[in-house]
Amino acid sequence: MDQNLKREIILEHYQNPMNKGLIDDDSYIKVNMNNESCIDEINLMVKVEDNKIVDIKFDGEACAISTSATSIMIETLVGKTIDEVEEIYKSYTDMLDGKEYNSDILGSAVVYDDVSKQPSRMKCALLPWWGIEKILKKIKKY
């Protein structure tokens, strides 16, 4: 993907993030994620029905990479089954680790395919996805 297009996608999701704003609804699974090395702190709320993610909300204070990564993650995961989410999560983390990955299932998340060139930004791009990992663990406990 062209570098300019990557920047446009990241900037769009930073300036106009999807589903920003928390709601008062106990049917959502909630997690708080923060990056101790900077100010990034994201609260995620995920609603799962019939083994499928039907909604994700978020709020918090975060840099452009974390905010856009959260918005892109939401766009990528809403409507997916838990099994699909696990597969997408693995592919995304493999991509960031420089391993072989399935770009077809990542959607716009492929814009972070070269973030490993800036190691200080890795946590920014991973923060919301680590939140999804925590939520997946909570789901499996139910």
pLDDT in tens, 70-123: 999 999 999 999 999 999 999 999 999 999 999 999 999 999 999 988 888 899
Q: What global pTM score does this model have?
A: 0.94
Longest dimension (CA), the chain: 43
CA distance from start to end of the chain:
40
% of residues, the chain, pLDDT over 70: 99
| Structural domain of 132 | 3-141
110 φψ region: left (φ > 0), alpha (ψ -120 to 50), beta (else): alpha
**Spatial separation of the C-alpha atoms in residues 52 and 70, rounded to whole Å:** 18
Number of domains observed in the structure of the chain: 1
Of 61, 72, 11, 15, which Cα lies nearest the Cα of 34? 61
What letters, b where the CB count within 10 A reaches 16 and e where it falls short, cover 10-43? beebbeebebeeeeeeeebbbbebebeeeebebe
pLDDT at 142: 59
Q: Residue 7 is inside which H or E element, if any?
A: helix 3-15
CATH number at residue 71: 3.90.1010.10
Amino acid at 27: S
Q: Which residue has the tokens 């070269």?
A: 114
